[in-house]
Structure 1
Amino acid sequence: MPDNTLDWNGLKLDGSTAVLGIIGDPIAQVKAPLPLTQRLQRRGLNAVLVPLHVRADDVAPLLQSLHAVRNLAGIVVTVPHKQQVAALPIELLRAAREARAVNVLRRHGQGWQGELLDGAGFLAGLVRNGFEVRGRSVGLAGAGGAGNAIAFALAAAGAASIDIRDADDAKCADLVARLRASGCNAGAWDGESPRDLLVNATPAGMRADDPLPIAPSAIRAGQTVADVIMEPPTTALLALAESMGARIVHGRHMMDEQLEAMADFFAEVLR
């Protein structure tokens, strides 16, 4: 029999390849497929990650039907589906339960097991860039899946206060209430007053005509301003903050730190 394995720049693809999908809407901006595939294959795991453009109404039926694809081992979940997936009847691990959001799913029995790696990845990116969270004030734009993950990770790392703003008042109030219940000093934020750390955890910045998620009045020289957006690499918010003398942390740092954690998560079902 001929060897039909495709080996392209060291990557393997054949009939034994396990498939991972990444779902989102939109999906063209995602950066994880190639680097996560590379990390998995460097570990000797024959797997690939492929992008899947899925709208919100299709998420639940898709996940149910994908279980019939026997070589599909797991799913990465990106905007705007993280909270929606967490509300489905699946097993949630600790971080996902705490933040009520999911960004990775793996096969587990007849269903899925979900976890949230955004918060740990974001925190590790901050630390690697020299920011000390303990005792610092935080202004966080976004109470969605990424915002929840980041808020709880920063709280666990000892942030002195975390103040939240979101276009959805109910989501904002819910996150503030859960942070307070966990012992964190949390409140609502106008997005205009300064804090030691400013974080954009919203999709604002992906398009050139998006409004700034944080007002220029909140930015000061010497602050740290971080964004979860990965495309474009430097958002309008980060460009403005850098021009005003703030230290900036790009979205890619969160993803870089998450990739190894994702590889660990999926390795358990790929071996």
Structure 2
Amino acid sequence: MTVNEARGPAIHVQGLEKSYKELRVLRGVDFAVARGSIFALLGSNGSGKTTVVKILSTLLKADAGTAGVNGFDVVTRAADVRESISLTGQFAAVDEILSGRENLVLVARLRHLKDPGAIADGLLERFSLTDAGARRVSTYSGGMRRRLDIAMSLIGDPPVIFLDEPTTGLDPQARLEVWQAVKELAGRGTTVLLTTQYLDEAEQLADRIAILHEGRIIVNGTLAELKQLLPPAKVEYVEKQPTLEDVFLTLVGDNGKTGKTGKTGKTGKTGRHGQDRNVGTDA
């Protein structure tokens, strides 16, 4: 990779268009993703999110426009793009007959990497799956399967990873587990392109958010920048109440363990940070 390639954005898209007969799915999509960041492509079902990911991962050719990943053009240097990326689809691509560790070892061997056992053990520890490593994947929960799926996609240390609606169909606890895994990816320098239809997911994870609507990016910015598009909020007195996330985490705990609920009173411990919050009716 040249110096210019390393300094440029990890993903660059300009004027991307794609149609299926009379249906125009993409109508000139433009965006760029900085290296080591989480970029959320937010949109409803059918907005074209998966089509963008397929084009960027060389699985589909655009009708017009250009796209580059890790400094490589997706058309003229498709092989280099594929070596630079990993794609995790909407459903976990794991072998349920094998154990979690065996899944990881298999992928490491297919990539012709040295010491696949050590690679597997390292990823099991990184994604908090060591205790379940010897179990068949068929016994895993949805969140564990998704974490294993993401771990498998990281074998070979790809600089760019595409997560196409990674929490679809997961329960609340499993979604939180995946969110933590995604944050850790970016923390280690991996560039993440996340497609999602969940507003809270984009809000929790993304450094920048682009909204794809009717085949076009209608807004692109940080969460703070997007909030500035609306009129300033009015200051009103509102009694602070626990959020649903506070309630859920208090009851089940961060690691899925039953939390201490205690007796209901005017104050109680809620939330991930253990803050005292007023749960009574007094102001």
- Normalised by the length of structure 1, the TM-score is 0.26
TM-score by length of 2: 0.26
Identify the structure with bigger relative contact order (alpha carbons < 8 Å, sequence gap 6+). Answer: 2
